[in-house]
Structure 1
Amino acid sequence: MGRITLENVSKIFGSNHAEAVDLISRGKRKAEVAEACGAVVGLCDISFDVREGEILILMGLSGSGKSTLLRCMNRLVEPTVGRILVDDVDVTRLGRKELLAFRQKTFGMVFQHFALLPNRTILSNVGFGLEIKNVPVKQRTDAAMQAIELVGLKGWESKYPHELSGGMQQRAGLARALAADADILLMDEAFSALDPLIRRDMQAELRELQRKLKKTIVFVSHDLDEAVALGGRIVLMKDGEVVQIGQPEEVVARPATEYVRRFVEHIDLAAVMRAEQVADRAAIVLSPTDTVAEARLRTAAGGSDGWLVADQDGRFVGRVRAERLANARVGDTVSGLLDLDPGVVSAGTRLDAVLGQVADGGAVAVVAEDGRLIGPITSRDIVRALAARPNAHHDHSPTQTKPAGAERWTGTSQNSPSTRSATTPSTGSPNMAVG
Structure 2
Amino acid sequence: MTSKISVKNVFKIFGEKPGRALEMLKSGQSKNDIFEATGQTIGVQNAAFDVKEGQIFVVMGLSGSGKSTLVRMLNGLIRPTSGEILIDSDDVASCSPAKLREIRRQKIAMVFQHFALFPHRTIAENAAYGLKVKGVSSDERREQALIALEQVGLSAWADSLPADLSGGMQQRVGLARALATDPQVLLMDEPFGALDPLIRKEMQEELLVLQRTLKKTIVFITHDLNEALMLGDRIAIMKDGEIVQVGSAQDIVSQPANDYVAAFVADIDRGRVFTAATVATDALPMQLTGDTAGDAVKAMEEQNRSAVYVLDGEDIAGVVTYQQAAAADRESGTADVPLADVLITDFPTADRDTQLADLYAPASSGLPIAMTDADNRLIGVIEPEAVFAQLSADTVTLDTEPQAEDEKRELAHTV
Secondary structure of the residue aligned to 1:120 is coil
Q: Which stretch shifts more, 361-370 or 123-132?
A: 361-370
Residues 374-416 of structure 1, C-alpha deviations (whole Å, 9 max, x = no match): 432233112222344589xxxxx9xxxxxxxxxxxxxxx9989
Partner of 2:184: 183
8 Å contact kept, 1:254–1:390 = no
Q: Distance in 1 between matches of 2:241 and 2:381?
A: 43
CA change 1:218–1:338 in 2 (3 A) is farther
8 Å contact kept, 1:246–1:415 = no
Q: Which stretch shifts more, 154-163 or 20-29?
A: 20-29
Residues 128-158 of structure 1, C-alpha deviations (whole Å, 9 max, x = no match): 1111112122322221111111111121111
8 Å contact kept, 1:343–1:361 = no
CA change 1:311–1:53 in 2 (3 A) is farther
Secondary structure of the residue aligned to 1:92 is coil
Q: Which stretch shifts more, 329-338 or 157-166?
A: 329-338
Offset, 1:232: 2.5
Give the TM-score of the pair, scaled to structure 1.
0.83
Runs of 4+ in 1 over 4 A off after TM superposition: 300-305, 323-341, 368-372, 387-391, 413-416
The reply to whether residue 233 of structure 1 matches residue 234 of structure 2 is yes
Partner of 1:352: 357
Offset, 1:324: 6.2
Partner of 1:266: 267
CA change 1:338–1:139 in 2 (3 A) is farther
Task: Give ranges in structure 1 of 5+ residues lacking alignment.
Answer: 392-396, 398-412, 417-435
CA change 1:124–1:3 in 2 (3 A) is same
* AA aligned opposite 1:122: I
Offset, 1:372: 5.8
- 1:379 is aligned, of 379, 384, 393, to 384
Partner of 1:424: none
Offset, 1:316: 6.3
Partner of 1:319: 318
Q: Distance in 2 between matches of 1:135 and 1:336?
A: 72
Offset, 1:302: 9.7
CA change 1:335–1:150 in 2 (3 A) is farther
Q: Distance in 2 between matches of 1:132 and 1:120?
A: 15
Q: Distance in 2 between matches of 1:368 and 1:376?
A: 12
Q: Which stretch shifts more, 317-326 or 148-157?
A: 317-326
By percentage of residues, which structure has more helix? 2
Q: Distance in 1 between matches of 2:189 and 2:103?
A: 20
Q: Distance in 2 between matches of 1:310 and 1:10?
A: 57
Secondary structure of the residue aligned to 1:43 is strand
Partner of 2:10: 9
8 Å contact kept, 1:247–1:415 = no
Residues 343-374 of structure 1, C-alpha deviations (whole Å, 9 max, x = no match): 22111221111112222463211235576644
Partner of 2:162: 161
Offset, 1:30: 1.3
Partner of 2:153: 152
* AA aligned opposite 1:285: P
CA change 1:62–1:318 in 2 (3 A) is farther
Task: Give ranges in structure 2 of 5+ residues lacking alignment.
Answer: 403-415
Q: Distance in 1 between matches of 2:297 and 2:151?
A: 55
Secondary structure of the residue aligned to 2:141 is helix
Q: Distance in 1 between matches of 2:400 and 2:259?
A: 20
Q: Distance in 2 between matches of 1:21 and 1:86?
A: 25
Q: Distance in 1 between matches of 2:88 and 2:166?
A: 37
Secondary structure of the residue aligned to 2:155 is coil
8 Å contact kept, 1:366–1:377 = yes
Q: Distance in 1 between matches of 2:113 and 2:315?
A: 46
8 Å contact kept, 1:347–1:369 = no
Partner of 1:47: 48
Aligned length: 393
Q: Distance in 2 between matches of 1:72 and 1:415?
A: 31
Q: Which stretch shifts more, 319-328 or 360-369?
A: 319-328
Matches within 5 A, 1:238-387: 238-281=239-282, 284-292=284-292, 293-300=294-301, 306-309=307-310, 317-322=316-321, 325=325, 327=328, 334=339, 339-360=344-365, 362-368=367-373, 373-387=378-392
Secondary structure of the residue aligned to 2:194 is coil
Offset, 1:307: 1.5
Residues 156-178 of structure 1, C-alpha deviations (whole Å, 9 max, x = no match): 11110000000000001001111
Offset, 1:317: 2.3
Q: Distance in 2 between matches of 1:224 and 1:334?
A: 48
Q: Distance in 2 between matches of 1:377 and 1:221?
A: 33
Aligned-residue Cα RMSD (Å) equals 2.8
Residues 185-240 of structure 1, C-alpha deviations (whole Å, 9 max, x = no match): 00000001000000000000000001111111100000011112214211000000
Q: Distance in 1 between matches of 2:172 and 2:378?
A: 39
Q: Distance in 1 between matches of 2:71 and 2:120?
A: 29
Q: Distance in 2 between matches of 1:191 and 1:25?
A: 35
Q: Distance in 2 between matches of 1:360 and 1:296?
A: 21
Q: Distance in 2 between matches of 1:49 and 1:271?
A: 26
CA change 1:370–1:50 in 2 (3 A) is farther
* AA aligned opposite 2:320: R
Q: Distance in 1 between matches of 2:296 and 2:125?
A: 68
Residues 278-311 of structure 1, C-alpha deviations (whole Å, 9 max, x = no match): 1234x65323444214333323579866322358
8 Å contact kept, 2:44–2:241 = yes
Offset, 1:32: 2.7
Q: Which stretch shifts more, 136-145 or 107-116?
A: 136-145
Partner of 1:428: none
